[in-house]
Chain A
Amino acid sequence: MDTSIYWPTFLFWFFAAVCCMFAIGVVLATNIVRMAFYLVLSLAASSGLFFLAGADFVGAMQLMIYVGGTLVLLIFGVMLTSQAKFVSMKTSQFDWTLAALAGLCLLAVLISAALAIPEWKGLERAEAESLGIPQTATPLGMGLLGARVDAPQRSGYLLVFEIVSVHLLVVLVGAAYLARAKRKRSTAVG
Chain B
Amino acid sequence: MITLPLANFLAQPVGVSQFVIVGAIMFTCGAVCMATKRNALGILMGIELVLNGANINFIAFGSPYLRSDAGSLGMDGQLMSLFVIVLAAAEAAVALAIALNFYNNFNSIDVDRANQLKG
Contacts and interface: CB of A to CB of B under 8 A. Distances in A.
Contacts of B55: 46, 50, 62
Given A2-B11, A70-B48, A74-B45, A119 B85 contact: no
Q: Mostly helix, strand, loop or mixed at chain B's interface?
A: helix
Contact of B26 (A23, A55, A78, A89): A23
B94 A57 contact: no
B105 to A, nearest CB: 9
Interface string B1-31: 1110001101111111111111011111111
Q: Mostly helix, strand, loop or mixed at chain A's interface?
A: helix
Of the candidates A53, A69, A151, the one having the most CB atoms from chain B within 10 angstroms of its own CB is A53
Given A160-B83, A179-B100, A4 B21 contact: no
Contacts of A178: 94, 97-98, 100-101
Contacts of A24: 25, 29
Interface in A1-54: 1-6, 8-10, 12-13, 16, 19-20, 23-24, 26-27, 32, 35-36, 39, 42-43, 46, 49-50, 52-54
18 contacts: A1-B11, A9-B11, A13-B10, A23-B30, A27-B36, A52-B65, A55-B78, A77-B44, A81-B41, A86-B39, A115-B21, A119-B16, A119-B67, A122-B66, A140-B79, A164-B83, A174-B97, A178-B94
